[in-house]
Structure 1
């Protein structure tokens, strides 16, 4: 193919959604061009692995360009040693920026200032957005965990059933229509799962395993071998109930090979986030390669979409402008436009609305393309994470196998959703890596006589339990040699971590806009993000998560180490409370919470039944421009209670079918 090719479809973004659409269209004989802002898929992942090994912080984005580890730390202006996003062609947010969010020179997002004198309990308090994404070939699936859960039927009717949020277009019917595409997504990702052991969950949520849903709910591969701690939780929760719901462990369907196949079998490296070294875990480069092998798909890497052109007569999209570059973070080396019959935006829930809002030069759409509803960029959501951690009585040997092989899914739905958010509980298998930055924190404590882990001092938890690891050691011990090794083994082999994926309601004030002051190296505006926990609905779920964490650890006979993050001081620009808040529950008790990002960025160009309140119709087609489609996590009207990637993939398969139908009827 060459620049003169007449494309049937132009796609922006080469992540899982863009790759699936390209693959489906390419198989059908359509000529497809993908514009990808980031670098090409490497021939192998050895360079990414090398970067990961050398990175001091093993964050989700640490292996990938643009590099986050190589800037020179400066105690005054850049104490974390973070790169300057104004020098990058494809900047994207990193976890390391979360606590530096009020310093534009250190942060990839432009955040509005905090309201003066705002308190920690205020619902108007603005927070740092705590999730990141990738801008490279293959997208964010490079660093995803691999969890492949479907949404529940109830997740599509949150407003109808519980009076909260909004429904998906068509409600339960939309869910029923999506079922066969969930099956296609399972096959494409090659999901490993255990249908027989999921049976209990089907029955609890009114899903007939022999009916429409269940007939499609089988898995291409047998389930991954569960971690030892999954079995420990299974035994401890026998007969347990919480708020009327049974509490039990379900195996987690996941996108990694449980046996050799097209990809290698999982070897249990336990660094699935940020990178699987052997590609046992699925990433979208697999589907992208299939798309290219059709012979009908072309991809242009390092081509940053910069504007969407509309035909002044028909208001249909007629071209997408781009800026290209040759060297990473080098100067722009080209610019141009590409045309097609249909256009698909698949550039993630931050970059897609940014592109739409940048395209504000079209008469009648001065607020951005596809934005007559003023909903582009709004309703930014994430699964807000609560973490609880503790020490088991006996070794459960974490840090072996995938990062999570089981979870508690039985609390994902119920009448409580009228009052508070639902959540699923992920049973972590990486010890305190996420919760306390282990193994480094505990190692440093026992070498230097510190107590940041609470294992080497005189701390007491909220239940009055002594938290010292070994009563035979004095507080703030400094150890070396065999005693150090034995002490560390005593800690690391018993570490437990629970993560709560708390659903967040759509809020029009949580949004992506264009920064008026901050630009990237190509001169394009960086995103301006406003983010808050806008209602007691989510905050009540944190209280619930805190309560059941204590109950679960009590059932296990474990000692809880979950730390109180302290009272936030949101009016202090130097306070690292960017993800901290305080909540007073119905009994008058004050709780301090720290939340974490799940990396599930959704909702900024949502589907709906009404063009006045949504960006897309149920076909993922723009209400304003009939030849423009959008796929990816931004189409979600609500976030539901399951990790979103499998639903993103299913929606991409469904959307590709709609595009093919429209091309056939053109």
Structure 2
């Protein structure tokens, strides 16, 4: 069932075994998993079925620290969440990402990659991906070109798949509407969680934009609102617990991570006619596949390095075939153009228009080159740039806090202070250096390092991946939730999404978000069935 909260009577109380707050990738996945298990669930979405300025304004806030990031434009507050504009690149986190690593402070999940593998496999169909196959050998004979003959003890291929990308609003709205065990309310904004003396959530206060109030009583509550909003909500709920719910050890909002989106270092090929097709995009029968380069896990452990996958961006002799114009202004323009081509009104139209206005040159260049490349051959490769979403180490000083400004619902707004360290960039530099040594030894070419000593942060941008603000750890002094994603200090409150990640790895987070959502749904469904 699907309904607008505004259609309900004021002060209505709804009841279900479980209440999920947030209808993005995590929340929708959990609701559908509960439906398959026959468990009744209430799913709340603060936005509407489509983008509105009224809902999106709730996400506005302040940005401090590393400046090349964003707190509102990067997120969508509507049914389907930010899957409305994600790009679709997917891979599971690597086994090493779950380990406690020397040289990576605050690392170490309470679960392993093997624990998550069965849920990764179940997550693949949700994102319209191919088989759960991320080893290079899984794709033997299906990819064009050949891998470079690099030292396998140093460098190995990394496999990524591309979702269409799946827009959860378009793909799963009907399934949510038709499921008899799901009650989905939109325009339903969580205002407060009330706690019993025994330390359990007894009910949620939910409000509409008109001021209408609805109460939800459930045995278990799940916040699935994203890395920034999960923390903002917990910090706001401080009427019964000073500092907010789950924040007894001042951890809520800390350890905010993003991926360092950057194109740094480049390879000058020894043979400009050499074959690089293996490291470009492959259109297979099931799913687009991308191959990158990364250091082996043994080498990362020995060197104490963060995780990174290098994707190779060739620079062609003909300038028209080069994509170095693809900055945030171009991405904003592309989103507007795609929406108009489908006969739709673009979401965040004015925000994207302002982004374009700040750097119109990229859009002019991009349009010009895309026209020219239809008539001009690419020519040879002059150089190959290293592009990546590199891992940063967990950092307690990188955080989401509250500021004094109130949103239209009376909730304090968020301040995002994204902090990177020189060690983060020096780890990336060392990774490029080791890849360069392997490439040089194989006679492929020479790598020119693009990270200075001391490193500068000017070329580091956001990956729009909000990670780690309610991190998972067995010790409540080091994490907000336990291995089952339950808030340590609350009996029946759980967190879903990338806010529970202990480290970020180098894989885009959506596949792991969905896998963890399936795992949490299984856990809660099992508890509910066992108690019945």
* TM-score normalised to structure 1 length: 0.61
Query: For residues 155 and 293 of structure 1, do their structure 2 counterparts lie closer, same or farther at Cα, with a shift above 3 Å needed?
Result: same
Specify the SS of the correspondent of 2:512. helix
Match of residue 310, structure 1, among 192, 195, 199: 195
CA distance in 2, matches of 1:15, 1:382: 19
Contact 1:193 1:253 in 2 (8 A): no
Query: RMSD of the alignment, in Å?
Result: 4.3
Query: For residues 486 and 301 of structure 1, do their structure 2 counterparts lie closer, same or farther at Cα, with a shift above 3 Å needed?
Result: closer
Q: How many residues align?
A: 472
Any gaps of 5 or more consecutive residues in structure 1? Answer: 43-63, 67-87, 94-107, 113-124, 201-217, 257-271, 273-280, 326-331, 442-451, 457-479, 565-581
Which position in structure 1 is the counterpart of 2:120?
A: 182
CA distance in 2, matches of 1:427, 1:607: 33
Query: For residues 343 and 400 of structure 1, do their structure 2 counterparts lie closer, same or farther at Cα, with a shift above 3 Å needed?
Result: same
Which position in structure 1 is the counterpart of 2:160?
A: 252
Q: In the alignment, does 2:406 pair up with 1:519? A: yes
Which position in structure 2 is the counterpart of 1:623?
A: 488
Q: In the alignment, does 2:247 pair up with 1:371? A: yes
Shift of 1:531: 1.6
Match of residue 479, structure 2, among 590, 614, 634: 614
CA distance in 2, matches of 1:551, 1:491: 31
Shift of 1:252: 2.4
CA distance in 2, matches of 1:400, 1:179: 24
Query: For residues 28 and 405 of structure 1, do their structure 2 counterparts lie closer, same or farther at Cα, with a shift above 3 Å needed?
Result: closer
Contact 2:55 2:78 in 1 (8 A): no
Query: For residues 542 and 648 of structure 1, do their structure 2 counterparts lie closer, same or farther at Cα, with a shift above 3 Å needed?
Result: same
CA distance in 2, matches of 1:183, 1:33: 26
Which position in structure 1 is the counterpart of 2:95?
A: 153
Shift of 1:22: 0.9
Identify which range, 551-560 or 287-296, moves more after superposition: 551-560
Match of residue 109, structure 1, among 61, 64, 71: 61
Shift of 1:433: 4.3
Shift of 1:336: 3.2
CA distance in 2, matches of 1:633, 1:548: 29
Query: For residues 620 and 559 of structure 1, do their structure 2 counterparts lie closer, same or farther at Cα, with a shift above 3 Å needed?
Result: closer
CA distance in 2, matches of 1:177, 1:619: 12
Shift of 1:175: 2.5
Q: How does 1:335-414 map to 2 (within 5 A)?
A: 335-362=213-240, 365-388=241-264, 405-411=289-295, 413-414=297-298
Shift of 1:381: 0.4
CA distance in 2, matches of 1:282, 1:368: 33
If each structure's strand is expressed as a fraction of its own residues, which one has the higher value? Answer: 2
Specify the SS of the correspondent of 1:584. coil
Q: How does 1:313-324 map to 2 (within 5 A)?
A: 313-324=197-208
Which position in structure 2 is the counterpart of 1:13?
A: 22
Q: In the alignment, does 2:31 pair up with 1:22? A: yes
CA distance in 1, matches of 2:215, 2:504: 35
Q: How does 1:562-581 map to 2 (within 5 A)?
A: none
Which position in structure 2 is the counterpart of 1:637?
A: 502
Specify the SS of the correspondent of 1:355. helix
CA distance in 2, matches of 1:341, 1:515: 32
Identify which range, 140-149 or 10-19, moves more after superposition: 140-149
Any gaps of 5 or more consecutive residues in structure 2? Answer: 2-7, 315-321, 334-360
Which position in structure 2 is the counterpart of 1:144?
A: 86
Shift of 1:650: 1.0
Q: How does 1:172-321 map to 2 (within 5 A)?
A: 174-192=112-130, 195=133, 198-200=135-137, 235=146, 238-241=148-151, 245-248=154-157, 250-256=158-164, 281=166, 283=168, 285-311=170-196, 313-321=197-205
Specify the SS of the correspondent of 2:57. coil
Q: How does 1:115-134 map to 2 (within 5 A)?
A: 126-130=66-70, 132-134=74-76
Match of residue 536, structure 1, among 407, 410, 423: 423
CA distance in 2, matches of 1:192, 1:555: 35
Which position in structure 1 is the counterpart of 2:522?
A: 657
Q: In the alignment, does 2:312 pair up with 1:434? A: no
Query: For residues 194 and 511 of structure 1, do their structure 2 counterparts lie closer, same or farther at Cα, with a shift above 3 Å needed?
Result: closer
CA distance in 2, matches of 1:223, 1:144: 29
CA distance in 1, matches of 2:508, 2:263: 16
Query: For residues 314 and 546 of structure 1, do their structure 2 counterparts lie closer, same or farther at Cα, with a shift above 3 Å needed?
Result: same
* TM-score normalised to structure 2 length: 0.75
Contact 1:302 1:324 in 2 (8 A): yes
Query: For residues 14 and 427 of structure 1, do their structure 2 counterparts lie closer, same or farther at Cα, with a shift above 3 Å needed?
Result: farther
Contact 2:104 2:304 in 1 (8 A): no
Q: In the alignment, does 2:27 pair up with 1:35? A: no
Identify which range, 11-20 or 409-418, moves more after superposition: 409-418
Q: In the alignment, does 2:56 pair up with 1:90? A: yes
Q: In the alignment, does 2:494 pair up with 1:602? A: no
Which position in structure 2 is the counterpart of 1:334?
A: 212
Q: How does 1:379-528 map to 2 (within 5 A)?
A: 379-388=255-264, 405-411=289-295, 413-417=297-301, 418-427=303-312, 431-434=323-326, 490=376, 498-516=386-404, 518-528=405-415
Query: For residues 494 and 145 of structure 1, do their structure 2 counterparts lie closer, same or farther at Cα, with a shift above 3 Å needed?
Result: farther
Cα distance per residue 1:95-145 (max 9 Å; x no partner): xxxxxxxxxxxxx33245xxxxxxxxxxxx654435722211111222222
Shift of 1:153: 1.5
Contact 1:432 1:439 in 2 (8 A): no
